[in-house]
């Protein structure tokens, strides 16, 4: 499977369900991938996007610290699968030249990637599945891919990255 690099375009709330959404955009491209995440994971991502230093380490900071002390790096994270409206991801670790792939929720993988400056990739299969009419949609509705794209493109840029914790 081909891996396509994505970057975080923003973090926002689904206007209908009030669920947090991480919006990924293809690096150097137009493809958008919204991933609905939990409130705690959204907060962890928002803190890092906004460069807020919490007074005590959050879970993803703890993981980064442990990996650092063990001299293990995060080489990349990959959103690998989309099954039954659920995204799956792997965190690829470099342990002294040995590559270790660890199963993770995409939100946790993204939060860790932000903290370690690791690139975020999405497989072409996930991109393809996410563009189908039965893919996860705004508020769980049945929006056509062009409707989702239009909704994301028409967002007020001030809404992206201004996720309220």
Q: Write out pLDDT tens, residues 115-134.
A: 999 999 999 999 999 876 55
What CATH number was assigned to the domain covering residues 3-153?
A: 3.10.690.10
Query: Domain map of the chain by residue range?
Result: 3-153
Mean pLDDT of the 20-33 span: 93
- Answer whether residue 136 shows pLDDT above 60: no
Handedness of CA 123, 160, 85, 133 (dihedral sign): negative
């Amino acid at each position: 499977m081909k891996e396509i690099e994505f970057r975080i375009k923003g973090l926002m709330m689904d206007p209908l369900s009030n669920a947090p959404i991480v919006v990924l955009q293809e690096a150097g491209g137009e493809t958008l991938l919204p991933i609905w995440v939990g409130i705690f994971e959204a907060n962890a991502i928002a803190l890092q996007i906004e460069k807020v230093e919490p007074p005590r380490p959050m879970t993803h900071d703890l993981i980064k610290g442990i990996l650092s002390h063990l001299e293990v790096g995060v080489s990349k994270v990959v959103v690998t699968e989309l099954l039954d409206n659920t995204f799956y991801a792997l965190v690829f670790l470099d342990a002294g030249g040995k590559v270790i792939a660890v199963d993770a929720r995409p939100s946790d993988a993204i939060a860790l990637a932000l903290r370690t400056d690791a690139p975020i990739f999405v497989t072409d299969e996930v991109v393809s599945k996410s563009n189908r009419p039965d893919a996860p949609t705004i508020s769980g509705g049945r929006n056509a891919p062009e409707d989702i794209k239009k909704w994301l493109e028409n967002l007020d840029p001030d809404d992206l990255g201004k996720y309220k914790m």
